[in-house]
Amino acid sequence: MRNRESQGLSEAESGLVFREPLVFELSGERQGGIPLEEKGLPGVDPWLPRDFLRQDLPIPQLTEQQVVRHYTRLSQWNFSVDTGFYPLGSCTMKYNPRVNEEAASLEGFAFVHPYAPEEAVQGALALMHELEHMLAEITGMDRVTLQPAAGAQAELTGMLMVRAYHRDRGNPRSKVLIPDSAHGTNPASCALCGFQVVQVPSDDRGLLSPKEISSRLDQDVAAIMLTNPNTLGLFEEHILEICEMVHEAGGLVYCDGANLNALSGVARVGDMGVDLVHLNLHKTFSTPHGGGGPGAGPLGVKASLEPYLPVPRVEKAGKLLGLKVDFPKSIGRIKAFYGHFGVLVRAYAYLLSQGPAGLKEATQKAVLNANYLRVALRDLYHLPYDRLCKHECVFSDRNQARTGVQALDIAKRLMDYGFHPPTIYFPLIVKGALMIEPTESETPETLERFVEAMRSIAREAKEEPEKVRSAPHLTKLGRLDEVTAARRPVLVAPGGQAGSSRREPSSEHP
């Protein structure tokens, strides 16, 4: 509203490019204090003392159509896997099959209460039980818990188990080795468990070297936390030796399974010597990313760690499946109820629709696509580690930096070509990193169009760098000012009682 009317514009900005206000700006009605007795609502009853009731609720009253229109318009401001190619490295933005959504919304799954008697939820428990076994088979582990809410929570769960494992042996160890290429969640999860993080540098091939590990390995190392393939998309070739060394020193091997899309059906981390591995169902197993969750992070472990698994666990008792909590060495509960069941249903449906051969083919194709892009782009963009990659490959902006074009600019310019940018500035060991993960879902034609766009941008960076540096040009909004947003944070809409001290500047809606 506001200035829009003064400019004679109606709801639309132009054509189909909507200008949509905040939901709090939609209502013309008063926003505060509606007495309880109003609108035919019953009065206050004796079991509800008036002193304990709120005086107002400052949120807008809207019609269903207003709400549907508002959020439909907002949805159209999003880029998504459904809209186009989304090669966000380390995130595995593969296609999310629609049948999985239908599966999760079946009444017998969506409307089931977690405390319903066990005999009334045998179908739900059977699904969990089967999924645990399927994920154990895929990873080569002995037991899986489906409880962790996401990858980072699985890391926390796993490291709490590592802690319990060593304490149980009367040997509380304090250090965890983590490669410098690791996801930021790894050190953060370790810190939550009170572990001291010891960083291990990658070698000149982008890999963990047994030498660097052995020099840091002692009786105080609880575990190594590695990612395989690592965040450069490279398979850790010394994995067998590394696992052996760590075990020799009494430590455990945790594998961040974020990159399992490079391995499932082809190789199993359990067979490599890994003791704990988590899986991101929202990456490898096609459950949707939801704009940033919900995900799910099942954790697989070897038998030696089974006593420490979180509770409850799905166990067979006679003919029935049940949820058991009586495990004295368990680390305890890590979230309420039993995990993101709705996400588990989707992953289960995906696995059944793929079958073992389909899973392997998906992996092969993901790696094929990534290597195709690696070779197609390496003459244009600097490729710090040029050899076979797995599900993703990492370039840098070194060639373009000569004209002042950085990874961020390349990312923003890709938007003008209709693509979501890759992950940028990660892993930290590659300066100006561009981390590209195409996944198996994309056709060769899409990959070719992406290569074309990257080629154009490389040329622009040379010939008209300002065009790249000032991108994006074709998006609804231009480049957003993230610095000021952090310096003077405004995190809630004006109005209401709270947060009103920080009103937004009056200059918007130009």
Task: Please give the residues from 198 up to 257 whose contact with another protein meets the rule CB under 8 A.
Answer: 235, 237, 239-240
Q: Which amino acid is at 394?
A: V
Residues 259/228, Cβ–Cβ less than 8 Å: yes
Stretch that binds another protein, among 78-86, 219-227, 429-437, 457-465 (CB under 8 A): 78-86
CB nearer to another protein: give 303 or 388.
388
Q: Does 116 bind another protein (CB under 8 A)?
A: yes
In whole angstroms, the minimum distance from the beta carbon of 227 to another protein comes to 14
Class of residue 42 by CB neighbours under 10 A (exposed 0-12, middle 13-18, buried 19+) = exposed
Phi, psi values for residue 222, rounded to 5°: -75, -40
In whole angstroms, the minimum distance from the beta carbon of 399 to another protein comes to 21
- Interhelix angle 444-463/341-377, nearest 10 degrees: 60
Nearest to 144 by CA among 272, 317, 303, 252: 303
For residue 170, how many other CB atoms are within 10 A of its CB? 6
Single residue of 8, 326, 477, 506 touching another protein by CB under 8 A = 477
Tokens representing 220?
């105080």
Q: Does 380 bind another protein (CB under 8 A)?
A: no
Q: Are strands 175-179 and 221-227 parallel, antiparallel or unpaired?
A: parallel
Phi, psi values for residue 463, rounded to 5°: -95, -35
CB nearer to another protein: give 60 or 462.
60
Q: SS3 of 279, please?
A: strand
**Which residues within the stretch 424-453 sit at the binding site for another protein (CB under 8 A)?**
426, 440-441, 444
Q: Does 382 bind another protein (CB under 8 A)?
A: no
Q: Does 299 bind another protein (CB under 8 A)?
A: no
Nearest to 252 by CA among 274, 227, 270: 274
Single residue of 423, 438, 439, 458 touching another protein by CB under 8 A = 423
Q: Does 171 bind another protein (CB under 8 A)?
A: no
Tell me how far apart the alpha carbons of residues 96 and 56 are, in angstroms, rounded to a whole number: 42
Nearest to 359 by CA among 265, 263, 284: 265
In whole angstroms, the minimum distance from the beta carbon of 400 to another protein comes to 18
Stretch that binds another protein, among 114-122, 218-226, 300-308, 457-465 (CB under 8 A): 114-122
Nearest to 57 by CA among 106, 95, 24: 24
Tell me how far apart the alpha carbons of residues 141 and 146 are, in angstroms, rounded to a whole number: 13
Q: Which amino acid is at 45?
A: D
Single residue of 307, 358, 384, 465 touching another protein by CB under 8 A = 358
Single residue of 277, 362, 434, 435 touching another protein by CB under 8 A = 362
**Which residues within the stretch 277-296 sit at the binding site for another protein (CB under 8 A)?**
280, 282, 288-296
Q: Which amino acid is at 242?
A: I
Single residue of 168, 184, 216, 386 touching another protein by CB under 8 A = 184
Q: Does 16 bind another protein (CB under 8 A)?
A: no
Q: Does 317 bind another protein (CB under 8 A)?
A: no
In whole angstroms, the minimum distance from the beta carbon of 269 to another protein comes to 8
Q: Does 302 bind another protein (CB under 8 A)?
A: no
CB nearer to another protein: give 109 or 431.
109
In whole angstroms, the minimum distance from the beta carbon of 456 to another protein comes to 19
In whole angstroms, the minimum distance from the beta carbon of 54 to another protein comes to 5
